[in-house]
Amino acid sequence: MRLLRAALCAGLIGCSDPAPAPQGWAAAFDANDAGWLMNVWGPRGDALFAVGGRPSEGRVYRFDGSAWRRATLDVQAPLLNWAWGFSADDVTVVGNGGTVLHWDGRAWSRQSAPRAENLWGVWGASPTDLWAVGGNGAADDRPVLLHFDGTSWTDVPPPPLQRAGVGAFYKVWGLSADNVYVVGQRGVVLHRTGGAWREELAGASGDLVSVWGTDANHVLAVGGRANGLVARWDGTRWTSRSYDVLPGLNGVWMRTPRAAHVVGGNGAAGTIDLDTLALTESTTPTQYDLHSVFGDASGALTAVGGTLGSAAGPFFGVALRRPLTASE
């Protein structure tokens, strides 16, 4: 009974101290009617691209340093899932149904993709060396791995996978043209070195949704659906762990191994020290699912998400922003 009372008090407003004050997260803009926001990326703090929408309509919102505005897409597109670029005039966006859009600073154009599955991630070492990944996720589907050589996208057969039932790759990220990671369904990890893709077993018992790193010895993949899950590459081996209470993680970004910024379901956000994998949670003013987090050159962190999931909606979005501290 003593334990019970303690737990009850711990769970009651007014019994204990108020929840910790938010660590700076605030609405970037009123994104409730923006549709789902799946990802944000930008070359500068005053040139951010947030992509998303709804299954029937892709949307892009741009931040110019002072305001967020919806961009006019010159092409019809379904939900847009991820963005990567090399400048404010060279941005590639991928989305559902094999959608690939490119922004050249003047207009959006569609690029032809050789696969029609949903594309979930894109990253490139250079404008002539981009990778896009995706898949519809059914166990008998083939995950999608595409390469862009500056002219066209080609379908790259993934290596034979020891891990059974992988129907989708979710994200791709790399340090260089010959050090690229792909993560995906069921904890699959591909690593490209020596000009070839190989499967690596990272010890993750669940989907890995996103990946980022700072150098060859500090790479973090995050995921899980019901419980936060990470897998860390330290240059020698993979180490994985889950975080009991934390919902699944969707996004990761870092500029120092001491603080990998992660976001996930139900407004979860925090930082993970790559050495210890200790998690420090931060409070966000949302319970929508956060899908991605990105730090820009101005020293601000942006997280986006929404009421993700059901194709039937609702399609509410959320965009949060806070300053990065020097140690982050």
Partner 1 sequence: MRHRARAALALGLPLLVAGCPAPEAPEPTVPTDIFGALGEVLPSASAAQRETFARGRRVATRRFTPEQGLGPRFNVSACSDCHERPTVGGSGARYRRFLLTAQRLPDGSFNATGTNGVQDQFTLGSREPTTPGTNVTATRSPIPFFGMGLLAEIPGSEIASRADPDDRDGDGISGRANYDRGFVARFGRKAQTASVEGFIRGPIFNHIGITTNPLSEEMKARLPVPSAATRSSALTEGRSGTSVQAQVAAADEPLTDSDGVADPELPEQDLFDLVSFSMLTAAPRPDPPTPTTVRGRTTFERIGCAACHTPALRSPRGLIPAFTDLLLHDMGEGLADGVEMRLASGREFRTQPLWGVAATGPWLHDGRADTLADAITLHGGEAQRARDAFAALGETDRGELLAFLESLGGREQVTAGLLPPDAPVPAAGAWGGPLPGLDAAALARFERGRRRYDGDFAFARGLGPLFNGDSCRACHFDPVLGGAGPLGVDVTRQGIFDGAGVFTAPAMGTMAHRHGAVDARPPIDARANFFEVRQTPHTFGLGRIDRIPDSEILAHEDPDDANRDGVRGRAHRLADGRLGRLGWKGNVPSVREFVRDAMGAEMGVTVPEVAGETFGATRDDDGVADPELTRDELDELAGFISALAPPPRTSRDPALEALGAQVFSRVGCDACHRSLRDDAGAEVPLYSDLLLHDVAAPDARGIGEGAAGPREFRTPPLWGMARTAPYLHDGRASTAEAAIAAHQAEAAASSRAVSQLSPADREALLAFLSSL
The residues that touch partner 1, with contacts defined as CB under 8 A, are: 3-16, 18-19, 22, 27, 30-32, 138-139, 162-165, 186-187, 201-205, 225-227, 238, 240, 242-248, 265-268, 283-289, 306-312, 314, 316-318
The DSSP secondary-structure symbol of 98 reads G
Closest CA to 63 of 85, 87, 81, 88: 88
Q: How far is it, in rounded angstroms, from Cα 198 to Cα 186?
A: 16
Least distance in Å: CB of 18 to partner 1?
Answer: 8
Q: How far is it, in rounded angstroms, from Cα 289 to Cα 304?
A: 8
Least distance in Å: CB of 311 to partner 1?
Answer: 5
Least distance in Å: CB of 258 to partner 1?
Answer: 20
- Residues sharing a CB contact under 8 Å with residue 223, sequence separation 6 or more, in sequence order: 170, 183, 187, 204, 206, 207, 208, 209, 210, 229, 230, 248, 249, 250
Identify which of residues 47 and 319 has a Cβ nearer to partner 1 in the complex: 319
Identify which of residues 39 and 111 has a Cβ nearer to partner 1 in the complex: 39
Identify which of residues 24 and 43 has a Cβ nearer to partner 1 in the complex: 24
Q: How far is it, in rounded angstroms, from Cα 277 to Cα 152?
A: 40
Least distance in Å: CB of 50 to partner 1?
Answer: 14
User: Cis bond leading into 314, ω under 30°?
Assistant: yes
In angstroms, what is the C-alpha Rg of the chain?
A: 19
H/E element holding 3? helix 2-10
Identify which of residues 67 and 164 has a Cβ nearer to partner 1 in the complex: 164
Cβ atoms within 10 Å of 194's Cβ, excluding its own: 9
Q: How far is it, in rounded angstroms, from Cα 283 to Cα 20?
A: 7
Strand partners, 154: 147
**Count of positions (residues) in the chain:** 328
Q: How far is it, in rounded angstroms, from Cα 293 to Cα 107?
A: 26
Least distance in Å: CB of 115 to partner 1?
Answer: 17
Identify which of residues 40 and 130 has a Cβ nearer to partner 1 in the complex: 40
Tokens of 121: 């991630």
Least distance in Å: CB of 182 to partner 1?
Answer: 17
Least distance in Å: CB of 60 to partner 1?
Answer: 19
Closest CA to 57 of 36, 31, 39, 29: 36
Identify which of residues 128 and 162 has a Cβ nearer to partner 1 in the complex: 162
Identify which of residues 213 and 228 has a Cβ nearer to partner 1 in the complex: 228
Least distance in Å: CB of 20 to partner 1?
Answer: 8
Identify which of residues 73 and 269 has a Cβ nearer to partner 1 in the complex: 269
